[in-house]
């Protein structure tokens, strides 16, 4: 009966595809159809709230004893609920953005194509939902495991919906960019995309921040960030959004194909992040549970492991996401040709965008049908990459058209001057033949193609930078051997090696204009390069997370971000003085690295990856630059507030933008103390406390005074085991002063057979001290208490992390969100002034 809601959603999607401008004729009918797309999620949520256990999903993860808010959170405990929630968010945004965006003509080609592209995305999600069958009946004698204990927290009621809302906004941006390209209507393309990018950036920051807060308060990480594959995946679209929102400020006019490419990238990375979360067994330690080949050894690459999932129950969902990403990546060929041909139609059609929906339909109607033998395993893996080449195959002359024509400019160097061979095809094929990794080969090809077709390869230096970052990151992460990585680097730097002397003017670092250009370019380039690095390290994290690699390779980026902020905030100051400021910061950095690397406290003396560098070295790489940039950015923000005059500051985009920058700098400074300088694998953080004795650790005294064992007055869980610890501040003379009491412990969940850490935090003016009770001892302690008494337990193990300046992380996050909200609101008002074009004849 409940499955009828999916059929209604399918019918509504098809009607909206047929009549995308139905809202012009009947707002009520259009609203009703969009609402039908959200009805399956509301229905499933209602079944959880009423604990209707006749539905398998509810029987598996619900529970009558759960509070209502956690019953609602149980809706996204498995695959079905989040997918339906995603569909509901997409429908809501489709209704919200049903009108023409800036530069679109109402009911014009771009507007129509955008709405139909979004509805094709709806269709894809609906068909995937059919394959998952969220309303299937509960079989007889079924006993559910109940809701995951980690989801039985208040933050998990909020965090997942916000993340999927951000991903939905990214997919809408992708539809907007593709529609602009396909219709050749790129008027006001920047404001058009920024109308969607700014709220997406705000939502993504809020969602990721709440996830970090959940990890800080609930998980036993001892911090807010651990480069877990799931959180790293969600960070990728955030970086893409950061790059996109800064395209408006880069020097010169941003080409249309770059705007469209950025919009497509946000959608691709949102799908990639979803795949990381939902392709269970591909990333991190769980991979060895079921993803194996005939020899018992799992494939060593992500694509290979995704192919192993073709026999999994959720294979249709994962394979559909893969096809979806491939289709969107394939649009890059069209965008590059669009840029090269100077405005000629790109050949993008809605028929091509039906590939993901076709894959979802195939998985539901054929491969998921028990009456018809077959599975995704019968589909060759190479077939899933076919949509990548669809734009090239759409034009019989596309390969020839893509070849760069010899330039008439004597100073220009292009690959056409090197050889007539199609290197943009040969190089990726050669890389694939060496690595047998299609993902690496495809990304290499996508980055190399714009460089190859550029009339002047030296002017296409951003692609060279991205390719060099790809090669270096692949070598650092050992995804490529050094010779192969060297070949990747050579392909991108070859123009610079062979071009010889050019007439391009050298940059004069004594001029303020140069400083400003570097600062404005830096926001886009650094976000893009760091995205490439983070993505590569995520690919390398399929078996284990290399926490130190992210911090080691990311440290120079943090310093570079600070340098750009210093250059920008001093753009009106004397250029020589600015150079002196940077030189002084560099000198402080060098002195700190050489003499004071182990004097920053925390785990600053701990070696990184067994090498010569310590965590203190990593912190010193960026600390001076960040510390100098912060007051300068505060000054810039105050100047922007003064410029507002009688106009309210929160109505000016520059005020909000620089407030975001202030918050980011504060957060990064806090990150150094709470993450970079903390080795969460160091055994020194695990303390054995003796009852009524004080153990001194890093200037604090910890005294275990009592053991608590209870099963009463618990909101969730079946029992609590915890300890009472009195915390003292120990002075230099040995005297101590009590500063608080904490109660860390573990909650027992009998139905799931697991325990959840109950982290406790002692907050002070300088930061937090995080206490994590060692859950491995809880069962033994419980047995001893039952047989004897709580007084019989005289020792306990507790992990303690001293996190000075941890408040800076949360202050910076809140400041960033305040600034993003200001930019979003002010951006809506600015968009209203540029979007109003007369209504054309309605459909």
Per-residue pLDDT reduced to its tens digit, 541-597: 888 888 888 999 999 999 999 999 999 999 888 888 999 999 999 999 999 999 999
Q: What's the average model confidence in pLDDT over 397-408?
A: 51
In this prediction, residue 832 carries a pLDDT of 59
Give yes or no for residue 527 having a pLDDT over 90. Answer: yes
Give yes or no for residue 605 having a pLDDT over 70. Answer: yes
The structure tokens listed for 675 are: 């993450």
Residue bearing the bigger pLDDT, 158 or 513: 158
Q: What's the average model confidence in pLDDT over 462-478?
A: 91
* Confidence tier at 833 by pLDDT (50, 70, 90): low
The answer to whether 74 touches 48, Cβ cutoff 8 Å, is yes
344-346-349 Cα angle (round to 5)? 140
Q: Name the least confident of 135-144, 245-254, 398-407.
A: 398-407
d(CA 270, CA 163) in angstroms, rounded, equals 10
* Confidence tier at 213 by pLDDT (50, 70, 90): very high
d(CA 360, CA 323) in angstroms, rounded, equals 9
Give yes or no for residue 346 having a pLDDT over 60. Answer: no
The answer to whether 106 touches 840, Cβ cutoff 8 Å, is yes
The predicted-structure confidence for 90-120, as pLDDT tens digits, reads as follows: 999 999 999 999 999 898 889 999 999 999 9
Dihedrals phi, psi of 134, to nearest 5 degrees: -65, -15
Give yes or no for residue 396 having a pLDDT over 80. Answer: no
In this prediction, residue 792 carries a pLDDT of 81
pLDDT, mean over the chain: 86
DSSP type of residue 610: T
Dihedrals phi, psi of 143, to nearest 5 degrees: -120, 115
d(CA 315, CA 803) in angstroms, rounded, equals 43
Q: Name the least confident of 198-207, 403-412, 741-750, 804-813.
A: 403-412
In this prediction, residue 733 carries a pLDDT of 80
718-722-725 Cα angle (round to 5)? 160
In this prediction, residue 736 carries a pLDDT of 87
In this prediction, residue 339 carries a pLDDT of 60
In this prediction, residue 459 carries a pLDDT of 83
* Confidence tier at 8 by pLDDT (50, 70, 90): very high
In this prediction, residue 834 carries a pLDDT of 52
The predicted-structure confidence for 485-520, as pLDDT tens digits, reads as follows: 999 999 999 888 887 655 455 566 667 788 888 888
Give yes or no for residue 170 having a pLDDT over 80. Answer: yes
Of the ranges 87-96, 220-229, 334-343, the best mean pLDDT one: 87-96
d(CA 38, CA 33) in angstroms, rounded, equals 9
**At which residue do the structure tokens 């250029």 appear?**
575
Q: What is the pTM of this model?
A: 0.93
The answer to whether 774 touches 796, Cβ cutoff 8 Å, is yes
Q: Name the least confident of 6-10, 101-105, 281-285.
A: 281-285
Give yes or no for residue 841 having a pLDDT over 60. Answer: no
């Amino acid at each position: 009966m409940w499955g009828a809601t999916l059929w209604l959603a399918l019918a509504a999607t098809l009607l909206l595809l047929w009549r995308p401008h139905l809202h012009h004729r009947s707002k009520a009918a259009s609203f009703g159809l969009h609402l039908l797309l959200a009805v399956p999620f509301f229905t499933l949520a209602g079944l959880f709230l009423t604990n209707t256990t006749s539905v398998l999903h509810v029987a598996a993860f619900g529970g009558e004893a759960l509070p209502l808010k956690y019953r609602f959170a149980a809706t996204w405990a498995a695959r079905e609920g989040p997918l339906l929630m995603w569909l509901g968010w997409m429908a809501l945004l489709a209704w919200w953005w049903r009108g023409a965006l800036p530069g679109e003509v109402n009911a014009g080609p771009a507007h129509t194509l955008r709405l139909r592209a979004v509805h094709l995305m709806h269709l894809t999600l609906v068909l995937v939902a059919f394959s998952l069958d969220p309303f299937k009946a509960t079989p007889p004698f079924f006993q559910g495991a109940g809701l995951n204990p980690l989801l039985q927290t208040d933050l998990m009621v909020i965090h997942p919906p916000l993340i999927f809302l951000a991903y939905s906004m990214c997919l809408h941006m992708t539809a907007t960019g593709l529609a602009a390209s396909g219709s050749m209507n790129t008027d006001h393309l920047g404001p058009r995309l920024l109308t969607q990018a700014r709220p997406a950036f705000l939502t993504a920051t809020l969602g990721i921040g709440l996830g970090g807060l959940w990890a800080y308060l609930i998980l036993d990480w001892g911090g807010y960030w651990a480069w877990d594959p799931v959180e790293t995946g969600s960070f990728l679209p955030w970086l893409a959004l950061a790059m996109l929102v800064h395209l408006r400020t880069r020097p010169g006019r941003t080409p249309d194909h770059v705007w469209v490419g950025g919009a497509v990238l946000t959608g691709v990375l949102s799908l990639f992040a979803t795949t990381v979360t939902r392709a269970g067994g591909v990333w991190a330690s769980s991979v060895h549970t079921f993803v194996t080949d005939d020899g018992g050894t799992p494939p060593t690459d992500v694509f290979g492991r995704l192919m192993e999932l073709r026999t999994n129950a959720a294979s249709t969902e994962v394979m559909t996401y893969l096809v979806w990403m491939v289709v969107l990546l394939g649009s890059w060929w069209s965008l590059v040709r669009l840029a090269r041909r100077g405005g000629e139609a790109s050949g993008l059609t809605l028929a091509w965008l039906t590939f993901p929906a076709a894959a979802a339909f195939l998985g539901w109607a054929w491969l998921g049908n028990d009456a018809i033998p077959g599975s995704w395993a019968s589909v060759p893996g190479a077939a899933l990459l076919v949509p990548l080449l669809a734009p090239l195959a759409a034009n019989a002359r596309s390969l020839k058209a893509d070849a760069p024509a010899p330039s008439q400019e004597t100073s220009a160097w292009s690959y056409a001057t090197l050889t007539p061979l199609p290197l943009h095809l040969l190089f990726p094929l050669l890389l694939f033949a060496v690595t047998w990794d299609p993902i690496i080969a495809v990304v290499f090809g996508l980055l190399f193609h714009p460089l190859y077709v550029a009339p002047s390869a030296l002017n296409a230096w951003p692609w060279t930078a991205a390719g060099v970052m790809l090669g270096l990151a692949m070598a650092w992460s050992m995804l490529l051997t050094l010779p192969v990585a060297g070949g990747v680097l050579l392909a991108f730097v070859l123009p610079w090696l062979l071009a010889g002397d050019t007439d391009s003017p050298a940059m004069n670092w004594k001029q303020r204009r140069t400083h400003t250009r570097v600062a404005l370019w830096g926001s886009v380039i650094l976000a893009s390069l760091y995205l490439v690095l983070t993505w590569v390290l995520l690919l390398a994290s399929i078996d284990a997370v290399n926490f130190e690699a992210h911090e080691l390779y990311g440290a120079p980026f943090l310093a570079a971000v600070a340098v750009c902020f210093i250059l920008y905030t001093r753009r009106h100051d004397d250029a020589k003085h600015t150079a002196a400021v940077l030189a002084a910061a560099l000198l402080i950095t060098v002195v700190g690295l050489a003499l004071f690397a182990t004097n920053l406290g925390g785990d600053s003396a701990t070696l990184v990856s067994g090498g010569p560098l310590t965590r203190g070295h990593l912190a010193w790489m960026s600390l001076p630059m960040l510390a100098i940039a912060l007051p300068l950015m505060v000054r810039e923000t105050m100047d922007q507030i003064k410029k507002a005059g009688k106009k309210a500051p929160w109505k000016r985009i520059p005020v909000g933008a620089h407030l975001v920058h202030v918050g980011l700098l504060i957060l990064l400074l806090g990150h150094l103390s709470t993450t970079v300088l903390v080795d969460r694998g160091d055994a020194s953080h695990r303390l054995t406390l003796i009852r009524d004795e004080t153990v001194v650790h890093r200037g604090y005294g910890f005294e275990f005074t009592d053991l608590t064992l209870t099963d009463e007055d618990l909101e969730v869980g079946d029992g609590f085991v915890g300890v009472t610890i009195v915390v003292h501040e120990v002075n230099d003379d040995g005297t101590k002063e009590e500063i608080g009491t904490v109660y860390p412990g573990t909650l027992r969940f009998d139905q799931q057979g697991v325990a959840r850490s109950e982290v406790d935090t002692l907050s002070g003016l300088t930061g937090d001290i995080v206490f994590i009770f060692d859950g491995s001892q809880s069962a033994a302690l419980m047995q001893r208490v039952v047989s004897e008494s709580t007084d019989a337990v005289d020792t306990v193990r507790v992990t303690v992390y001293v996190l000075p300046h941890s408040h800076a992380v949360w202050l910076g996050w809140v400041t960033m969100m305040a600034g993003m909200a200001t930019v979003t609101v002010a951006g809506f008002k600015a968009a209203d002034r540029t979007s109003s074009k007369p209504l054309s004849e309605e459909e």
